[in-house]
Amino acid sequence: MSDALLQARGLTKRYGARLACADVSFDLDPGEVLAIVGESGSGKSTLLSLIATELQPNSGSVSYRMRDGILRDLGLLSEAERRALMRTDWGFVRQDAAKGLRMAVSAGGNVGERLMGAGARHYGTIRGTALDWLAKVEIAADRVDDPPTRFSGGMRQRLQIARNLVTGPRLVLMDEPTSGLDVSVQARLLDLIRGLVAELGLAVIIVTHDLAVARLLSHRVMVMRAGRVIETGLTDQVLDDPREPYTQLLVSSVLAA
């Protein structure tokens, strides 16, 4: 049963003597949402960067099923192929919106730029599609020409989502997309993400330290500590019946509202 969209095998990354990511392997199916949880320094963001090919692993590989159905080792793609893939079939929603957006360009331009990067040329179509997507992420039409510097934190994250989803990607990586936002803003963003993921059948790998986010969005969860995956499984099973001491500590440390 090898119809996985993405396969990670033995991903390992060292910084000097420190293992940031140790021998991580997993499969992700189309439409599946995988949460990677752990505290700061657990290696979860390093793992995401390895998956996104922004970091080179010391060993291990990431393979992805391209739109032609063939599974290819991302480490063996040409730079042009890799960039084309990231611009169209993958999205990356970052914790820091300034790293995922062009802060000096209008909201409409941020979305349109990604469409042009994917090959769209007709101005009217680009503008129309950008407006549709901004409406989907609840950005009012009268803010389309404003740059994200004038947006609140929650709006910036919604703009990142529109910019990433406008090309119809099959896989979206998310790095702590809701942290640093007020809780009411978080709830709105999570609800938006949840709706879009279900509607579009997206595969998602989401890194979060927030177990409630993992529970709300993900099918499966991987718990990381000191660079290693220490527990993995069905999200509600890992959170309701955690087996490892560290997972029990994480789960029991959450304050119930």
Query: Residues in the site for another protein, rule: CB under 8 A?
Result: 29, 32, 187-188, 190-191, 194, 216, 219-220, 233-234, 236-237, 240-241, 243-245, 248-249, 252
160 contacts: CB under 8 Å, gap ≥ 6: 93, 94, 97, 100, 101, 177
- For residues 105 and 251, which CB has a smaller minimum distance to another protein in the complex? 251
Copy the structure tokens of residue 4: 């996985």
Question: In what helix (H) or strand (E) does residue 108 lie, and over which residues does it extend?
Answer: helix 107-117
Question: Closest distance between another protein and the C-beta of residue 57, in Å?
Answer: 25
**Residue bearing tokens 């970091």:** 55
Question: Closest distance between another protein and the C-beta of residue 218, in Å?
Answer: 10
Question: Closest distance between another protein and the C-beta of residue 230, in Å?
Answer: 12
Question: Closest distance between another protein and the C-beta of residue 29, in Å?
Answer: 7
CB atoms within 10 A of CB 192: 17
Contact criterion met (CB below 8 Å) for 172 and 163: no
Question: Closest distance between another protein and the C-beta of residue 184, in Å?
Answer: 8
- For residues 20 and 222, which CB has a smaller minimum distance to another protein in the complex? 222
Question: Closest distance between another protein and the C-beta of residue 90, in Å?
Answer: 22
Copy the structure tokens of residue 40: 């700061």
- For residues 2 and 252, which CB has a smaller minimum distance to another protein in the complex? 252
- For residues 104 and 249, which CB has a smaller minimum distance to another protein in the complex? 249
CB atoms within 10 A of CB 46: 22
Burial class (CB in 10 A: 0-12, 13-18, 19+), 168: exposed
CB atoms within 10 A of CB 60: 18
- For residues 56 and 252, which CB has a smaller minimum distance to another protein in the complex? 252
* Crossing angle between the packed helical segments 153-165 and 183-200, to the nearest 10 degrees: 10
- For residues 149 and 237, which CB has a smaller minimum distance to another protein in the complex? 237
